[in-house]
Amino acid sequence: MTTVEAAAGQGPPGTTAEEDGRVVEDSVADGELFTLIFDRYGEQVHAYLARRVGPDVAEDLTAETFFIAFRQRSRFDSHVGVVRAWLFGIATNLLRRHRRTETRRWRAMAKLPPPEIYGELEERAATQLTAQASRPRLAAALARLAPRDREAFLLVAFGDLTYDEAAKALGIAHGTVCSRIARARRRIRESLDHTDPRSVQ
């Protein structure tokens, strides 16, 4: 757990977390500045949501995320966290209302056949191939995870947050995030190691 597994929350090139924080804080006085935050992170938030609940639901939730963020912008404290993680926290909260949609989606993916692989088997692509071949098992494992473990894991996997940012996004202690993610990783690893077909469904 010492290495942070994901690249620290990256904004688009040329922006820094400090600059984001200033924009949000300045937007309390000048509300229209907040559109900059949408310009910077709208796509990223949508991509994260779409990977969890599909692109259609994600569209609505993206808009809701930014509307809620706008209304709560005066509460954002740049000393406590970065804007990107704050947005992902709001998005994750909204996703809790779509837990069934998400679980259904993972179950459906678990039933899809592994994607056919075209092209050459270069060494670099080999690991990707393994991952894609494992897709049904991974999807089944994600569907079975406790929702809290899954959201912590996916904030890092899909949201590219650090453990620390994920903790702040979820409003929980760093240690709690670590144990939730560790549990999620263990279950995912077990689902791949197991040959028991019941674990794959």
Partner 1 sequence: MNEFDMVRTAFPPEPDGLRRDVAATTRNELQAMGRKATNRRRQPIGRVKVGLALTACGALVALGLLGLPLLSSGEGAAQHPGVIGVVPDGHTATADQVLVSAAVRQEQQATPSGKYFRTRWLETIRATRVGRPASNLERRRITETWVPAQAGAAAWLGLVDLGLRPARPSLDKLPPDNGGDPAFPEGRSTSWTVAEINALPTDVVQLRTRLLAGLEQPAEADRYVFQAAARLLFETPASPQLRGAALRVLAAIPGIQMRTGVSDPIGRKGTEFALSTAGPANQPGRASIIIDTSAGTLLSSTYDAKVKASSSVLLEAGWTDRLPQKPSTAVR
Q: How far is the CB of 48 from partner 1 (least distance, A)?
A: 9
Tell which residue, 100, 93, 115, has the closest CA to residue 172: 93
CA atoms within a 13 Å half-sphere pointing along the CA-CB vector of 156: 21
Residues in 116-175 at the binding interface with partner 1, rule: CB under 8 A = 127-128, 130-132, 134-135, 138-139, 142, 153-154, 156-158, 171
77-116 footprint of partner 1 as x/- string (CB under 8 A): ----------------xx--------------x-------
- Let me know: does 71 contact 152? Beta carbons within 8 Å: no
Q: How far is the CB of 131 from partner 1 (least distance, A)?
A: 4
Q: How far is the CB of 53 from partner 1 (least distance, A)?
A: 11
Segment lying near partner 1 (by CB under 8 A), choices 16-24, 76-84, 181-189, 193-201:
181-189
Residues in 28-67 at the binding interface with partner 1, rule: CB under 8 A = 29-35, 38-39, 42-43, 46-47, 50-51, 54-55, 59-60, 62-64, 66-67
Q: Does 8 bind partner 1 (CB under 8 A)?
A: no
Query: Closest CB to partner 1 among 35 and 78?
Result: 35
Q: Provide the token pair at 170.
A: 């979820």
- Which residues bind to partner 1, rule: CB under 8 A? 5-6, 27, 29-35, 38-39, 42-43, 46-47, 50-51, 54-55, 59-60, 62-64, 66-68, 70-72, 74-75, 93-94, 109, 127-128, 130-132, 134-135, 138-139, 142, 153-154, 156-158, 171, 184-185, 188-189, 192
